[in-house]
Chains A and B, each alone.
Chain A
Amino acid sequence: MAVLYVLDVPEFQPLVNYAEGAPDLAVSQHGAYHKIEAAGELTILREPTGMDAAIWFGGLVGGYEGEVKEFSEDVLRIG
């Protein structure tokens, strides 16, 4: 199981939008944060989010549960 917490602010909303459209990801509210969960691996592709690098590479600031397998310009994978 993998979890990504995303503060409910406009600049990180593309991560939440992506997760809401991804069949293997569940999104719920967790106080001031969105909680994105995956039963297996949590994968987010950067390109469809439209996020520029300066914000994308700050996207883990809300914290996570699991292990970061990959965090590149193209993809974030938490397993």
Chain B
Amino acid sequence: MLDKTKPVLHGVHHTAFPTWKPKETVEFYRDVLGLPVLHAITAKGWGREAHPDFLHFFFDAGNGAAIAFFYYIGTEPMKELAGPRGYLGMARHTSWRVESDEEIVAWRERLVAKGVVISEEVQHEVIKSLYFRDPNGYPLEISLTTRALGEADAADAALTLDAMIETFVDGDDPQSKTIEDMWRLKGEKVRELA
């Protein structure tokens, strides 16, 4: 039964990114990754603002999710399309789910065979990840969930977010605060739980 006061989401429909490398982008997503082409929109620019003519094309990333691109004809490429180099350039990324170790191995082997530069596999707290980039420089990740998250994880995360906001936003002199300050406040919150 639909609760109109609390609408729900059902996963990713699509995410979309601009590209000024339409050929390389199609070749990478369709041929290198092997994602089926789902749909391509081609439109004359319209609307109130000056809007270039464009293409908007979609690749199937599985389970109903698509990754899509806009190619704006005749426009100047954006500088630093994927963000600056280093950690900030990795922060905004797309991570796709795989469901077994065999699948993550198969992706690693395919990407290597196709000449894509990939990272070492990184075991994080609850996922195992492979990292690489597309021809636009957009960071991509393939993730395997290594354990299901439960109520204890959610309760712990809620306390962490409270501690973050109280330390770095609402507290005294938040600019001077460190992650150690936040962890100490988290410890106080956890101590009070029992």
Contact = CB atoms under 8 A, between A and B. Distances in A.
Interface of A: 3, 5, 7-11, 30-33, 52, 54-55, 58, 60-65, 68, 71
Contacts of A52: 122-123
Interface residues on B, range: 20 to 34
B191 A5 contact: yes
Contact of A10 (B122, B124, B147, B189): B147
Contacts, number: 73
Interface of B: 122-126, 147, 152-153, 155-156, 159-160, 163, 179-180, 183-191, 193-194
Contacts of B126: 11
A5 B124 contact: no
B190 A9 contact: no
A63 B189 contact: yes
A59 to B, nearest CB: 10
A64 B184 contact: yes
Q: Is the interface of A mostly helix, strand, loop or mixed?
A: mixed
Contact of B193 (A3, A31, A68): A31
A10 B126 CA distance: 9
B187 A11 contact: no
Contact of B122 (A3, A54, A62): A54
Contacts of A65: 184, 187-188, 191
